[in-house]
A and B are shown apart, each in its own frame.
Chain A
C-alpha cells in the first residue's frame, strides 16, 4: 500500500496533488512548540524538501509541548534532534538542518532555496526579520504565534497580499509581551496552532480551499472561540513608513534590517569583547531549569521574571555582563537596569550555548 494512499484517494488531491507535495520546498524557522507539529505533519504529508532553522537545544521544560523530542533528545540541537525523529517518520524526503540563528546575514540566502516560509519563532525581532525577508524574496509566509491560552494564525505575503507589518507596522518593545518561557503556555495550544499552520502550507501547495491570506485567525483555547479579523493590505507607498523602509532598503537590506527591526537597543556586546573587560559581574537571567549552564563564568543567577525584585544582587561597582539563551531577555534585563539608573551593563549578543562554545575554544587554544 502506498504511504500516501489516504491523500491520493481524495479526489481533490490525487497522485497529481501528491506529486506537488513531493516537489515542494518548505523552510520552518523555529523547531519549538509551533515548529514541532508543523514539521511532523509536513513530513508525514511527504513534502519533498524541508529545512529546519533552530540554534537552540532541547531542554526538559520543552517536552511538555515540543512533541518531536524525548528524553533522549535533551541537550541536543533542536533542528538536528527534530531531523532524527522526522526521518524515522518518513525517510523518503530530504531534510536540511540549519543549527544556527536566523540573522540579517543569512536570511536571504536561506529563503532563496524554499517556496514557503513557516514562522514558528518566539520573539519579535526574528518575526519582523522573517516578514521583511519574505517580502523581499517574495515568498508566502505562514505565521503562527501563541500567548498562554490564545493563538494567532495567518498567511502573509501570499500573492502580493497583506504582510505582518500591515497588521502590526512596528515591533513591540522586546520584552513588552512576554514569551512562553517567561509566563507559561498550555501545552496543547501550539499543537493546535501549529497544525493550522501545516494545513495552510498544504493548501497553498495543493491550491485547495481558501488561503488564510488578508485575515488573522485568533483562537482561544479556554472559550474554544475563534475570531477571524480582516487585515487590509497596506500600500507600501502609503503612510506606513516601516514597510516602505523595508522595500526601499532592498539593496542595503543585509546591513539595515537589524536596526530597522529593533527600535530598542540597549548596549550589546559580543562574548569576545566581554572577556576583554575587567572587574566583571556575569549575570544569567534564564530560568533555573534552562541549560546549558555556564558555570565557569561563576554568574549571579537572577531569572528575568524576578529581576526587578533582586536588584540588590547587582554589584554597582562592577561591569555587568548579562546573558540568557539567545540574547533577548538579557537585553530586557539591561533596560531594567537602565530604568533604575544602573549603568555599565551590557547584554551579550550570543546565547548560552555559543558562550560555552567560545569558552571551550579558548581553553583549547591555551
Chain B
C-alpha cells in the first residue's frame, strides 16, 4: 500500500522534507517505522509520537489509513 508520511519540526529537518510517499506491505506502525529508519537512521534516536490519519496512536497500532505523521515535542517558548 502507498502511505503518505508527514514530518514536523526536528524530524522534517532530518528528512529534509515535509512529506513523502512510502510503499509498505506490513501491518503495524512499528514495522513501518523500521522501513523509515532504513532511509533515515537518525530518526531511530529521535523522540516522536505517531499520528494515523491525524489521530495520535501508539506505535503498536495496525495501519488502516494511508496518512502517517511523525510529531516531535517542541521545547521553545
Contact = CB atoms under 8 A, between A and B. Distances in A.
Contacts of A122: 75-77
A185 B75 CA distance: 12
Contacts of A34: 77
A190 B77 contact: yes
B56 A229 contact: yes
Interface string A115-136: 0000111111001000000000
A144 B77 CA distance: 7
Contact of A179 (B8, B46, B76): B76
Contacts of B10: 147, 177
Contacts of A232: 55-56
Contacts, number: 92
A229 B54 contact: yes
A230 B6 CA distance: 15
A290 to B, nearest CB: 16
Interface residues of B, number: 20
A124 B77 contact: no
Contact of A146 (B46, B54, B74): B74
Count class of interface residues, chain A: 35 or more
A229 B76 contact: no
Given A167-B56, A218-B8, A152 B77 contact: no
B55 A145 contact: no
Given A167-B49, A227-B69, 20 more contacts: A30-B77, A35-B77, A120-B77, A145-B74, A145-B77, A146-B74, A146-B76, A146-B77, A150-B74, A172-B47, A172-B73, A177-B74, A185-B76, A218-B71, A227-B6, A229-B54, A229-B55, A230-B54, A230-B56, A232-B55
Interface of B: 6, 8-10, 18, 46-47, 49, 51, 54-56, 69, 71-77
17 contacts: A145-B77, A147-B74, A147-B75, A147-B76, A150-B8, A166-B56, A176-B47, A179-B75, A220-B8, A227-B6, A227-B8, A229-B54, A229-B55, A229-B69, A230-B55, A232-B55, A232-B56
